[in-house]
Amino acid sequence: MSMKNSIPKALIISRLLIGFIIVSLSLLNISNYSVFAITLLTIGLLTDILDGIIARKLNISTQTLRRLDSTIDQIFFISVAVATYIQCPTFFSTNKIMLTLLFSVEACTYLVSFIKFRKEIATHSIGAKLWTLLLFSTLIQIILQCESTTLFYICFWVGLATRLEIIAIILVLKNWTNDVPTIYHAFQIRNNKAIKRHKLFNG
């Protein structure tokens, strides 16, 4: 693989390292932690956006790469959540019921996918992408203030809705497929119809 073609994978792996660094900084309780954490979180989000765009531009967006991207995404945001919990445990104890429900539904998406296809999910749906941006904003607010109300509630309900859509997509598909924009597209794929994907964001 040429150096150019290895860029998307390097961006994905860098996100894994960034997640571990954020956890380490939280454990060390360094001065100005929030500044470093938000900077690294932003860099991590940018790598998430760019890896797929670059891979599609280079025409190397394989199933293996998309599966790796999806798995690292989960580890990255779990790492940020753990780091945030270390810094702001009260927020998590106050909202433990909602967070437990959200994490449980997230886990169910993987469980359903493994049961049906023996593979992790990599739907990269439009709803999931929008939720990632909401989650990013919510985490920033929590890191800065150790609390979030309205934004957290919006993030919770959108997260719940998009997780349920992903489960529905998995159940509708006959065969494991990556990059399925919506449940409507899942039905199109099930009926052996070609679906329209955005060249940059869902190719």
Split at pLDDT 50, 70, 90, the class of 38 is very high
Residues 197 and 99 in one domain: yes
Residue-wise pLDDT for 146-198, tens only, equals: 999 999 999 999 999 999 999 999 999 999 998 899 999 999 999 999 887 66
Query: Based on the domain organization, do 96 and 60 belong to the same domain?
Result: no
Verify that 128 and 36 share a domain, yes or no: no
Same domain for 135 and 56: no
pLDDT of residue 2: 63
34 and 72 in a single domain? The answer is: yes
d(C-alpha 9, C-alpha 5), whole Å:
8
Same structural domain, 42 and 107: no
Specify whether 4 is located in the same domain as 95: no
Residue after which a domain boundary falls, among 72, 87, 102: 87
Does the structure show a pLDDT above 70 at 68? yes
0.95 surpassed by pTM: no
Tally Cβ neighbours within 10 Å of residue 89.
11
Same domain for 99 and 8: no
CA atoms within 13 A on the CB side of 123: 32
Question: Do residues 170 and 134 share a domain?
Answer: yes
Determine how many CB atoms are found less than 10 A away from the CB of residue 178: 19
Could you tell me if 180 and 117 lie in one domain? yes
**Distance between CA atoms of 186 and 124, rounded to whole angstroms?**
12
State the pLDDT at residue 5: 67
Same domain, 19 and 73: yes
Two tokens, residue 187: 């039905």
Indicate the residue among 27, 57, 87 that finishes a domain.
Answer: 87
Pair (178, 112) in one structural domain? yes
Domain that holds residue 44: 1-87
Number of domains forming the structure of the chain = 2
Q: Could you say which of 27, 61, 87 is where a domain stops?
A: 87
